[in-house]
Structure 1
Amino acid sequence: MNTQSVLIHRKMVMLLAAVSLLSACQDSDMPLSVAPSYQTVNAQELHIDDNYQFNQEFSGSIRSGNTTGVGFELAGKINALTVDSGDSVKQGQRLAKLDTRLLLAEKNELTASISQNQADLDLAQTTLNRSLGLQQQGYVSEQQLDEQRGQLNSLKAASNRLNAALLANQLKIEKSDLLAPFDGVISKRTHNLGEVVSLGSPVYTLIEDNNIQAYIGVPVDIANQLSTGQSVDVRVRNQHYQGKIAGISAELNPVTRTVELRVTLPPSADVINGELSYLSYQQTIASQGYWVPLSALTDGVRGLWNIYVLSPVANPADGELYQVERRDVEIIYTVKDKAFINGAINSNEQYVSQGLHKLVAGQLVTQQAQLATR
């Protein structure tokens, strides 16, 4: 075989190898038949309701039935303070005392005057009796008897005046002791020992025990639906108490435009004077709609919200399939993690309850579960 024949033979071998290699590459690029995969969603069924419970809270404050600034009925210098802020006191307990030395001196003076008046009375009565005896013998005139009777009556009037002054002095001494008007707790002391206080100036602020009340303002239409003695739910901090309406104001507050309720709380309520309180009131609102979890809603346009409804696909080739449809809805009321809605939806339709971020309108999905929810 000559050189030219050898070269031709080698070219043919290389050509056949290249064709075989190309054929192998084409075979490896052939697509494989793969079954389609669909997103699985959690679904629930819509159920229509004719009304919903509308819960409202109205705020107010805790105040004791009696919160009193306790002070002396007299002016004077404070001689003793027996209690202080935070102390519990009983009705009639002495809280403070004024200096009574001037009053005691006045009492001694009045006592002496009464004794002198009594001596004058005894003398005037004896003189009159003697004169009456002498009149029968003709030694005393009627003029003298009238004068003696007048003197005796004047001394009796002076005796009454002195006794009244002594009684007033005794009352002043008694009122120099500041007594607790009811059982309670001292919340504040406003004067110190040795201070001269004016008439009526409060020395303590006393908060009554076992008479806890909440004062809460509500709108007029709510107040018209309530009555005295009705039980209501009152929340203070995280504690709920069953209170009773003790009174409903007959006047509208010009600032808040509300009617004030006075609600009595149980004596065991753990509250502090001045704390915020909240009254819960539930109304039944007549309106048709559907309860759904908030996780089933997504933002829409023009102030509306969207919900994804599952529409069955007719004659699916890959089992039971549903097409995702976006529907516009309006939120009527929300409470915790639920919303009461209405819109382009119907009762008994299936909707996607969660995982909306994984879906788009028109997508084919399979349903994981069908749970009825209200």
Structure 2
Amino acid sequence: MNTRQSNRFAGAIGVAAAAVIVIALTGILHARFAMGDKPAERIPLTVAATGYHLQDSYLRQVSYLGLVAAGRKARLGFEISGTVAELPWREGSPVAKGQLIARLDDASLRASYSATSADLDQARSELELAKLKARRQRELRESGAVSREAFDETRLRAQALASRVEAVTARLHSIEIQIEKATLRAPYAGVIADRFVHQGAVVNPGMPVVQFIETAGREANIGVAVAKARSLQVGREYTLKLRGESFSSPLLTVRPDVDPVTRVTTAVFAIPPDIDAVDGEPITLIMEESVEARGGWLPIAALLESSRGLWNVLRLEESPQGTRTVREAVEVLEIQGDMAYVRGSLADNSLVVANGVHRTTPGTLVAVAGAR
């Protein structure tokens, strides 16, 4: 027997052996079924369920961005010209109300004050002398010892000196005011935000010396849509968020105009004194609004992405064989945290697979662990 015949013979023997094994196994299985044995039933997948309840609207959180603004801020300067003699503060320095901010060299003013004060003393002395003369000549005039002309001259000179005293007094008061204006003091408690001149600089009236920002009375200027602004109530507390921290703040006013660029109006809120807010810092108004849309809330874990922007959920349905899953299409309208507000073909009070939807397919029999 050659090699090719040997290979054919061996192959025939292998096929025959396989056929015998298959026949034997089939016989064993038939024998077991005849004795009442059945294949083991598949255990249904256990799933958690959640209820879907229809409602006509839902609340969502909206935010409006604004800026922190100091209650008062101004560029402070002198009302008179002069040389800056003292400017002790740097940017960021806190200054109490009435405290010195800057001072001009007032040496010439004080010299003028001394000279004018001396003129006033002289005028008062001359006035006193003129009054004494007028009093004496009035007595002599009654006895006829002094002519009427001499008496009138003395009397009118006393009146002229009285006017001179008033004029010199006013001039002296004016110099006092100028000396006072040579000192720049804080109009309220605040912080030096910027300095525009330094010691030794010559300034003119109205020229800015420092940028001064009030530390108290901070406000939040927040742009709000006109339609939403109509619902705001002055005096009511609203929630503001600054650097991730939320706090309540009363509404002071709503401006009656609209910004031509942003097309929003400005709502002004008072920031509590214990809140550390910096002028120009962003701040947010947090509000809730009702959205008219019929739907219901479901966990995000219950959603399975579908096509064309839709999502699928697995609704639980009772059947003669048990609880099975049915695919339903929904549209997501809002997401808040781990919940989604959806609408679609789901009926009210439906039970839906709450999570693990990727582990099962529509039509699968499942066991429900519990509904929530």
- Residue in structure 1 matching 2:114, options 108, 111, 129: 108
The answer for the alignment partner of 2:5 in structure 1 is none
Change over 3 Å in CA distance of 1:14–1:110 after alignment to 2: closer
Alignment deviations for residues 165-220 of structure 1 (CA, whole Å, 9 cap, x no partner):
10111111122221111222222222211112222233223332332221112122
How do 1:180-199 and structure 2 match up within 5 A? 180-199=186-205
The answer for the alignment partner of 1:366 in structure 2 is 366
- Residue in structure 1 matching 2:17, options 17, 21, 42: 21
- Residue in structure 2 matching 1:250, options 232, 251, 256: 256
1:233 touches 1:240 (CA, 8 Å); kept in 2? yes
SS in structure 2 of the partner of residue 251 of structure 1: coil
The answer for the alignment partner of 2:299 in structure 1 is 293
1:61 touches 1:275 (CA, 8 Å); kept in 2? yes
How do 1:1-374 and structure 2 match up within 5 A? 21-24=17-20, 26-27=22-23, 41-312=47-318, 314-316=319-321, 320-325=322-327, 327-360=328-361, 362-372=362-372
SS in structure 2 of the partner of residue 129 of structure 1: helix
Q: Tell me the distance in 1 between the aligned counterparts of 2:167 and 2:15.
A: 146
What amino acid does structure 2 have at the position aligned with 1:239?
E
1:45 touches 1:370 (CA, 8 Å); kept in 2? no
Greater shift, 363-372 or 61-70, is seen at 363-372
Alignment deviations for residues 333-359 of structure 1 (CA, whole Å, 9 cap, x no partner):
222222111121112222233334455
The answer for the alignment partner of 1:5 in structure 2 is none
Q: Tell me the distance in 2 between the aligned counterparts of 1:132 and 1:274.
A: 75
Q: Tell me the distance in 2 between the aligned counterparts of 1:40 and 1:179.
A: 78
- By how many angstroms is 1:78 displaced? 1.0
Change over 3 Å in CA distance of 1:15–1:217 after alignment to 2: closer
1:215 touches 1:262 (CA, 8 Å); kept in 2? yes
1:40 touches 1:365 (CA, 8 Å); kept in 2? no
Change over 3 Å in CA distance of 1:342–1:116 after alignment to 2: same
TM-score (norm 2): 0.84
Q: Tell me the distance in 1 between the aligned counterparts of 2:141 and 2:105.
A: 55
2:300 touches 2:339 (CA, 8 Å); kept in 1? yes
- By how many angstroms is 1:371 displaced? 2.3
1:306 touches 1:329 (CA, 8 Å); kept in 2? yes
- By how many angstroms is 1:58 displaced? 0.9
Length, aligned pairs only: 354
Alignment deviations for residues 256-277 of structure 1 (CA, whole Å, 9 cap, x no partner):
2223222112211122221111
Q: Structure 2 stretches of 5 or more lacking a match?
A: 1-8, 30-38
Q: Tell me the distance in 1 between the aligned counterparts of 2:134 and 2:13.
A: 169
2:46 touches 2:369 (CA, 8 Å); kept in 1? no
Q: Tell me the distance in 2 between the aligned counterparts of 1:148 and 1:302.
A: 111
Q: Structure 1 stretches of 5 or more lacking a match?
A: 1-12
The answer for the alignment partner of 1:3 in structure 2 is none
What amino acid does structure 2 have at the position aligned with 1:62?
V
What amino acid does structure 2 have at the position aligned with 1:322?
R
Alignment deviations for residues 49-101 of structure 1 (CA, whole Å, 9 cap, x no partner):
34321211111111222223232222221111232222222211112111101
1:44 touches 1:369 (CA, 8 Å); kept in 2? no
- By how many angstroms is 1:250 displaced? 2.5
What amino acid does structure 2 have at the position aligned with 1:323?
T
SS in structure 2 of the partner of residue 278 of structure 1: strand
* RMSD after superposition: 3.0
TM-score (norm 1): 0.83
Q: Tell me the distance in 1 between the aligned counterparts of 2:317 and 2:136.
A: 128
